[in-house]
Structure 1
Amino acid sequence: MTQKTSTTPSKNHDLLYSLHDKPGFWPSSFAALQHVLASLVGVITPTLIVGGVLGLGEHIPYMISMALIVSGVGTFIQCRRIGPVGAGMLCLQGTSFAFLTAILSAGMIVKSRGGSPEDILATIFGVSFCAAIIEIFLSRVIHKLQKIITPVVTGTIIILIGIPLIKVAMTDIGGGFGAENFGSLDNLLLAGIVLFSVILLNRSKNPMIRLAAVVIGLVLGMTVAFFMGRLDFSNLSNLPIVSVPVPFKYGFQFDLAAFIPLAILFCVSAMETTGDLTANSTISGEPVKGPIYMNRIRGGVLADGVNSMIAATFNSMPSTTFSQNNGVIALTGVASRFVGIYIAAILVIMGIFPIIGGVLQQMPKPVLGGATLIMFGTVAVAGIRVLSHAKLDRRDMMIVAISVGLGIGVSSVPTVLQELPKTLANILSSPVAMGAISAILLSIILPEQKHEDDEIEVVDTTSADPMAEKK
């Protein structure tokens, strides 16, 4: 494939700039800013949620910096394609909300046995590093994975990812875990302002406003919180001028009970990435079958695994391909993978300065909750959407019913497992692990009903990420 080096727009596939075109500085910068704007909330929100729920306050600014830097590095690898690593397309990397349930469960396991914040982070990053190896392996056999991780299994898991996170969002709306003024009118007002502003902006006819709806809603909520006296920036002066990435700054620990749910989610993430990259190929006017397409899929999934190992090494959470950027490509007509270099540079520059993380840390919980309620609800709905493509028969409905029931059940009544061995109880107490294990085992055990009109179909799971319109 020959790369074009001119700045003359390509007319192929109704795109201003196709995959291998090199736009000039200003077109590239403008397109990159739109990608960053569409993805910024998705990049930083998982860190804010994990830090808030697990009580990692003093570490949050540094972790946000690392999330931004790792996102930039991962985006560069995915777009540039280094050897076999990377899809070689305009793909932005960040942490999917799909990993949050398992990460929070891992943190709670360590916290319940008296572990310090450093122990919690050492376990989260250590387990994430090891689990990423699963996705690296799967990238070599991704074409066979669809036989096990079917739409019925994927949809069930995505539903079980979203439902427990809704509880996290509602707790933030009330003021956060342990808040003295939990459920106060001020908290509900702040959350309501963000919630309704995002809803209204999302209904705009202007596509750019829709893409930026969550960002605008959060800025509006922060502004109202400032005039309510809810923001305190006095501690920003104590932050260092720059954040320096330190490999395994908090150490490296492993816990089997925390590892298994994450390993399962890396399998699901591989399938989601396949859907994201397929959609990206379609929008970019590239093949969606054949050796070129399959090499991109394998390279993209491999990059997800490698980038997740890099993320864990530099104190950030698992990395995956975001799908909301497919909408930005369609909107701008810029599919050039070289724009990814500009996106990477912007994210790394933002991450170098910890004051950005310090400001974001001051975001009141109700403001964050008002936005994440929509995101997490969208995750659950995305699971329903995946199931709607599965042509459910009686067997499939039985699998979904049992798996969702067990997943929600152990989340609602965790004491039901208290008589099991501790390690096994910790594994099965994760709704994702319980639901996924049940769905996979039932799919294997229960005989499949054959129909004459059965056909293999590729299910687009890109909307599993709440930032798709996206995980």
Structure 2
Amino acid sequence: MSDHQPNDLLYSLDARPGVLESSFAAIQHVLASFVGIITPTLIVGGVLGLGEHIPYLISMSLMVSGVATIIQARRPFGIGAGMICVQGTSFAFLSSVLAAGFIAKGKGGGPEEILALIFGVCFLGAFVEIFLSQFLHKLKSVITPLVTGIVITIIGISLIKVGMTDLAGGFKAPDFGSPANLALGGLVLVSIIALNRSSNSWIRLSSIVLGLAIGFVVAAFMGKISFTNLASLPAFSIPVPFKYGFSFDWTAFAPIALIYLITAIESTGDITANCIVSRQPIKGDSYISRVKGGVLADGLNSMLAALFNSMPNTTFSQNNGVIQLTGVASRYIGFYIGAMLFLLGLFPVIGGILQNIPKPVLGGATLVMFGTVAAAGVKILATEALDRRKMLIMAVSFGMGLGVIMVPNLLAEMPKLVQSIFGSAITTGGLAAIILSLVLPEGKVAEEGEPEENLNMTTDSATS
């Protein structure tokens, strides 16, 4: 960090920009996070066949994200980080939420039974993160860059299959892999890459939104879009607690509970990065208090999300880049962001339009997004001095985590609970990383006569 950086913010954390400046900054945050907030709902709704419920679920995801972002910025009763921590639907839960949905579906349940189980286990699982938030400072042996980097990399890699499946046309699509689908998805992918390389910061910031818009327009000309469902939608979306009911299943709950642990670790990293770009301390009591409050809010916001029919929330890391880009760190911008997201969610027609995004268009965008998640994990790992112990932990974690998705029938003869927990790349790889980090002693892996420092493989570029 250069010497001049502490003074290069246009608006510091507690500054109060005017309405125009605040609105302008908030729009940029909304553009950076909007697609990420709605995409998990679109994927879950499409794969599980939730059909007519999707517009309402999208509305709820936007409204909950708005309220949750305000909580993080306002920090009532010490709940929240007191910064611009934009909350959005978490990709980390995607595979486990889909697994829970298939459990309900396998029992003959329809959309309402599927959603009742998903939101039931997500609601109770949030207590894991709420509890952990109060002991984060005592979990230094678990919350390490090595474990965090491994888990985030596995999350990104395991989700790439979802993005590629959509790019080809979607799960069980009759035209799966057709040249038209591949060309449409490829167009979105190329558009996002080209736009992201623009010298204009607004275009770079909006590259995924603009890429989706380009694909949407082209798909309309190809006759792949119909708006017949919009006429039947109500004028406003009204939040109804547990609209679809509440149910529970241990085999669905176990992997989701573990991912709440992983989310606590991931959010700690995101909040720390936010502290850095917002010029706040990353050591001492104020830092610990801010992180504990932020992760506590993550858990409570995820509980709020499940209560109001949305998937678990997490702190979006991409918005740290917006703070750095704009030089606006004022937490009061969070109020504007939250209000904008809530208003967008108030109108179900927005969800209805988004529901019509063709799978190849969505796949072209999510392929970039999921790949970016994996790259973020690699970037964290690149900051580590990779000695033999850490390489062994990485090797076993990646091998076990990715192995279970490459050989899906591996656990076919095991009990359902075991299949549910260890059939997920994230839970298997994450558990392996946590357990090995705890049980393998540091500094005792060098061969006799071989100095430990000779085993380091860090490069200067890794920390750039």
Contact 2:61–2:311, Cα closer than 8 Å, also in 1: yes
Rounded Cα–Cα distance in structure 1 between residues aligned with 2:146 and 2:274: 24
Per the alignment, residue 291 of structure 1 pairs with: 285
Unaligned runs of 5+ in 1: 1-10, 455-471
Q: Paired residues, what number?
A: 444
CA shift, 1:177, in A, is 1.0
Distance 1:283 1:415 in 2: 45
Q: Is the 8 A contact 2:443 2:452 kept in 1?
A: no
Secondary structure in structure 1 of the residue aligned to 2:78: coil
Q: Does 2:410 match 1:416?
A: yes
**1:332 — aligned with what?**
326
Asked if the contact 1:109/1:426 (under 8 Å) is kept, the reply is no
The verdict on how the C-alpha distance between 1:293 and 1:171 changes in structure 2, with shifts beyond 3 A counting, is same
Code of the aligned partner of 2:333: V
1:261 corresponds in structure 2 to 255
Cα distance in 2 for residues equivalent to 1:279 and 1:425: 35
Residue 441 of structure 1: which of 423, 429, 435 is its match? Answer: 435
2:350 aligns with: 356
For residues 424 and 23 of structure 1, the distance between their equivalents in structure 2, rounded to whole angstroms, comes to: 53
Q: Name the CA distance, whole Å, in 1 between partners of 2:126 and 2:214.
A: 37
Query: What residue in structure 2 maps to residue 123 of structure 1?
Result: 117
Structure 1: distance between partners of 2:262 and 2:212: 29
* C-alpha separation in 1, matches of 2:441 and 2:328: 47
Give CA deviations for 1:104-140 in whole Å, capped at 9, x if unaligned. 2222222233322212211111111111111111111
Distance 1:412 1:222, change over 3 A: same
1:393 partnered with 2:387: yes
State the distance in 2 between where 1:406 and 1:282 align: 34
Name the stretch that deviates more: 367-376 or 384-393. 384-393
Q: For structure 1, which segment, 270-279 or 185-194, has the greater mean C-alpha deviation from structure 2 after superposition?
A: 270-279
Match of 2:42 in 1: 48
Mapped partners of 1:436, 1:269: distance in 2: 11
Deviates more, 1:33-42 or 1:362-371: 33-42
Tell me the distance in 1 between the aligned counterparts of 2:272 and 2:146: 20
Q: What is the CA–CA distance in structure 2 between the aligned matches of 1:159 and 1:277, rounded to whole Å?
A: 19
1:61, distance to aligned residue in structure 2 (A): 0.3
Residue 140 of structure 1 corresponds to 134
CA deviation after TM superposition for structure 1 residue 148, in Å: 1.6
The alignment's TM-score, normalised by the length of structure 2, stands at: 0.92
CA shift for structure 1 position 452: 8.1
2:307 is aligned with 1:313:
yes
Shift of 1:377: 1.5
Matched residue, 1:98: 92
- 1:234-285 per-position Cα deviation (integer Å, ceiling 9, x unaligned): 1101001000001011111122222222222222222222222222222222
SS, match of residue 410 in structure 2: helix
Q: 1:271 to 1:427 in 2, by over 3 A?
A: closer
Note closer, same or farther for the CA distance 1:75–1:100 as it changes in structure 2 (3 Å cut): same
Question: Are 1:234 and 2:228 matched, yes or no?
Answer: yes
Task: Indicate how the Cα distance of structure 1 residues 367 and 423 shifts in structure 2: closer, same or farther if over 3 A, else same.
Answer: same
Question: What value does the CA root-mean-square deviation take over the aligned residues?
Answer: 1.8
Change (3 A) 1:452 1:427: closer
The answer for the alignment partner of 1:300 in structure 2 is: 294
Report the 3-state secondary structure (helix = DSSP H, G, I; strand = E; otherwise coil) of the residue aligned with 2:172. Answer: coil
Distance in 2 of aligned mates of 1:165 and 1:112: 22
Cα deviation, residue 408, structure 1: 1.9
After superposition, the Cα gap between the structure-2 partners of 1:151 and 1:289, relative to the gap in structure 1 and judged at 3 Å, is closer
Change (3 A) 1:453 1:19: farther
Match for 1:216 among 210, 214, 229?
210
Unmatched runs of 5 consecutive residues or more in structure 2: 445-450, 455-464
Q: Distance in 2 between matches of 1:393 and 1:452?
A: 8
SS at the partner of 2:93? helix
Q: 1:359, CA displacement in angstroms?
A: 0.0
Q: Which deviates more, 273-282 or 68-77?
A: 273-282
SS in 2 for 1:320: strand
Letter in 2 for 1:137: F
Aligned to 1:179, the other structure's residue is in SS state coil
Q: 1:157 to 1:278 in 2, by over 3 A?
A: closer
Aligned positions of 1:181-220 closer than 5 A: 181-220=175-214
* Structure 1 equivalent of residue 161 of structure 2: 167
Establish whether residue 344 from structure 1 lines up as the match of residue 338 from structure 2. Answer: yes
Alpha-carbon deviation of 1:55? Answer: 1.2
Q: Which is further off, 356-365 or 265-274?
A: 265-274
Whole-angstrom distance in 1 between the partners of 2:259 and 2:181: 33
Deviates more, 1:439-448 or 1:312-321: 439-448
Say if 2:405 is the partner of 1:406: no
Partners of 1:169 and 1:369 within 8 A in 2: yes
Q: Distance in 2 between matches of 1:129 and 1:265?
A: 13
Q: How far apart, CA to CA, are the structure 1 residues paired with 2:153 and 2:15?
A: 39
Q: 8 Å contact 1:47–1:63 — kept in the other structure? A: yes
Specify whether residues 395 and 290 from structure 1 end up closer, same or farther in structure 2 by C-alpha distance, changes over 3 A only. Answer: closer
Kindly indicate whether residue 79 of structure 2 is the aligned counterpart of residue 85 of structure 1: yes
Offset at residue 417 of structure 1 (A)? 1.1
Deviation at 1:175, TM superposition (A): 0.6
Cα 1:335–1:152 change in 2 (3 A) is: closer
From 164, 170, 175, the equivalent of 1:176 is 170
User: What percent identity do the matched residue pairs reach?
Assistant: 61
Is 1:71–1:344's contact at 8 Å kept on the other side of the alignment? yes
- Show the counterpart of 1:16: 10
2:459 counterpart residue number: none
Matched residues in 1 for 2:310 and 2:327: separation? 32
Whole-angstrom distance in 2 between the partners of 1:329 and 1:437: 33
Q: Which residue of 2 aligns with 1:245?
A: 239
Aligned-partner Cα distance in 2 for 1:232–1:399? 49
Contact 2:251 2:416 in 1 (8 A): no
- Equivalent pair of 1:249/1:314 in contact (CA under 8 Å): yes
1:75 and 1:59 mapped to 2: Cα distance?
24
- Partner letter of residue 381 of structure 2? L
Distance between the aligned counterparts of 2:430 and 2:304, measured in 1? 26
Q: Secondary structure at the match of 2:181?
A: helix
User: Which residue identity does 1:114 align to in structure 2?
Assistant: G
Aligned with 1:94: secondary structure?
strand
The answer for the alignment partner of 1:67 in structure 2 is 61
CA drift of 1:301 comes to 0.7
The answer (yes or no) to whether the contact 1:90–1:335 under 8 Å persists in 2 is: yes
* TM-score (normalised: structure 1): 0.91
- Asked if 2 retains the 8 angstrom alpha-carbon contact of 1:149 and 1:268, the reply is no
Instruction: State how far apart, in whole Å, the 1-side matches of 2:138 and 2:168 are.
Output: 45
Query: 1:29 Cα deviation (Å)?
Result: 0.9
- 2-structure distance, mates of 1:413, 1:110: 23
